[in-house]
Amino acid sequence: MSTRFQRITPFLWFNDQAEEAANFYVSVFENSRILDSTRYAKEAAKACGKPEGSLMTIAFELDGQKFSAINGGPMFTFNPAVSLVVNCQGQDEVDHYWNLLSKDGDPAAQQCGWLKDRYGLSWQIVPAQLIELLTAADQAKSQKAMQVLMTMKKIDVNALLNAAN
């Protein structure tokens, strides 16, 4: 059996919600699964201030992309300087991912297709049509689309197309 080699794997640091977050993300994306997990042994738990037997790391896959996460403590938190982009084929996918990932997230952190989920991780929910409009040879169309985009939280594909035309 051949396994696909992935050279670069995003590694996410959580205080103590890595397992909960991984299970949530796996429920959001099709073709996703938990791959493996490790638990804190007595020595490591004592050194890190974590309960013995609690989750230390978890490996998971979201639609073919592998991730790892750790319950490492409160010293590091997510910020919007790093986000995960979800490329979507149309408004239905935008709505699906936006609604699931933004539920119980930070509404103040929503703009231009960006959102922050309940764990503090930033996501960009991007329809293919947006990229097409922003990279179009017709600069006037691109500028009109950008003006409308700047007024949005969740991206509305029809509003972008109407503005560009």
Q: Which residue has the tokens 């010293």?
A: 75
State how far the Cα of 24 lies from the Cα of 47, in Å rounded to an integer. Answer: 28
Domain 83-164 has CATH 3.10.180.10: yes
For 92-139, the pLDDT digits (tens) are 999 999 999 999 999 999 999 999 999 999 999 999 999 999 888 889
For 29-76, the pLDDT digits (tens) are 999 999 999 999 999 998 888 999 999 999 999 999 999 999 999 999
Q: Is 66 exposed, middle or buried (0-12, 13-18, 19+ CB in 10 A)?
A: middle
Q: Where are the domains of the chain?
A: 11-71, 83-164
State how far the Cα of 58 lies from the Cα of 75, in Å rounded to an integer. Answer: 19
pTM, 2 dp: 0.91
CATH code at 11-71: 3.30.720.100
Structure tokens at 1: 């059996």
